Amino acid sequence: MTGKDTMRDDAIRDQAARWAVLTGEPGFEDWEGFMQWLEADPAHARAYDAVSAAVAQAAELAAQAPEPVTPAANDDDTDHSAHAAPRRFWLGSAVAASLAVIGSLWVWHGSSRDLYTVETAPGQMRSLDLENGTRVDLAGATVIRLDRKDARYAELDTGQALFTVRHDAARPFHVEAGDATLVDLGTVFDVTREGAHLSVGVAEGAVGYNPKAENLRLAPGDRLVAEAGAVTLDKVPASQVGEWREGRLTFDAAPLREVADRLSRATGIAFAARPGAEMAISGSILVTPVRDDPQMIGALLGLDVRREGDRWMIGKP
């Protein structure tokens, strides 16, 4: 068996273990997705059956475990350990062996990943071609981690990235962004992460958000914003998702802090919201004129723009 075959088998076993846990949860609903995964490859059903058998065996052994024998009061001088220890040892070993089978099938990628980091400077954009037509476009001031052994995985530490993913039902593309997990369902989607703030916009296909928690499905034109434990959904024109690649930024009732962050990322010029200034900004601008003259933001978005040290402060006019 080649190294490539081994990696494929490991990936299938990981997927089977995930499905075994998910399908056992009371609130599980994605039976259509589960059946599609099973039917995509005969090896999927074999791996799932192996996981299910191991789980059933462990549960059966635990259920059949004999109750511990309590010595009678007048048996204090009797040594029961010689009889109890072999039985306990056998039961513990059998259960451990069954659980070891499950453990060997469910090896979380995080324990065996070979991650490397890609960064962009403010104002810089970069495209990364992954396997079979999947691409990640990075905006400025972005830090992302990819896996040398798994081209279907990414961790967005900070910044903004547009994912153009060739869908593979057997190997969904996963993006980790802080506490959030995104799973592609045949997709073009944009992710922005700044500290605890996360936003996801979908241009094509669909994205699953936190399958083991909120389990939300985002369709084209959907935008999700998560911050401080709150998740909100609204709409965005699909054409605006990832438009920053073409040098355009659109704001829809965006707070000044977000406007400053996006301007800094796109232009490479340090913008900041003036302390205490609160207002919602809407409008669409081209990046190049702002890069040439930061004060143009004032006329384009109706803001007061002043240079203070090495930053351009924006606030109410």
Q: Tens-of-pLDDT digits for all 317 residues of the chain?
A: 555 566 677 788 778 877 877 776 666 667 777 778 777 887 887 787 777 776 666 555 555 555 544 444 444 544 544 444 444 444 444 444 444 444 444 444 444 789 999 999 999 999 999 988 899 999 999 999 999 989 999 999 999 999 999 888 778 899 999 989 999 887 899 999 998 899 999 999 999 999 878 889 999 999 999 988 899 999 999 999 999 999 999 999 999 999 999 999 999 999 999 988 788 999 999 999 999 999 999 999 999 999 999 999 999 88
Please tell me the distance from the alpha carbon of residue 185 to that of residue 169, in angstroms, as a whole number. Answer: 8
Reported for 59-67, long-range contacts at CB under 8 A and 24+ positions apart, including other chains, are 61/91, 61/94, 61/95, 61/98, 62/95, 65/91, 66/91
Cβ density class 155-176: b for 16+ within 10 Å, e for less: bbebbbbbbbbeeeeebbbbbb
**pTM score:** 0.65
Q: Which residues pair with 202 in a beta bridge?
A: 189
What domains does the chain contain, in order, with CATH numbers? Answer: 3-68+75-107 (no CATH), 112-238 (2.60.120.1440), 247-315 (3.30.1370.120)
Q: How many CB atoms lie within 10 A of CB 8?
A: 16
* CB-CB contact of 310 with 269 (8 Å): no
Q: How many CB atoms lie within 10 A of CB 251?
A: 18
Residue 295's identity, in one-letter code, is Q
Q: How many CB atoms lie within 10 A of CB 13?
A: 19
Q: What CA–CA distances, in Å, run from 43 to 15, 19, 179?
A: 11, 14, 31
Instruction: Provide the pLDDT for residue 42.
Output: 78
Chain centre to alpha carbon of residue 82: 52
Nearest CA to 105 out of 232, 14, 26, 189 is that of: 14
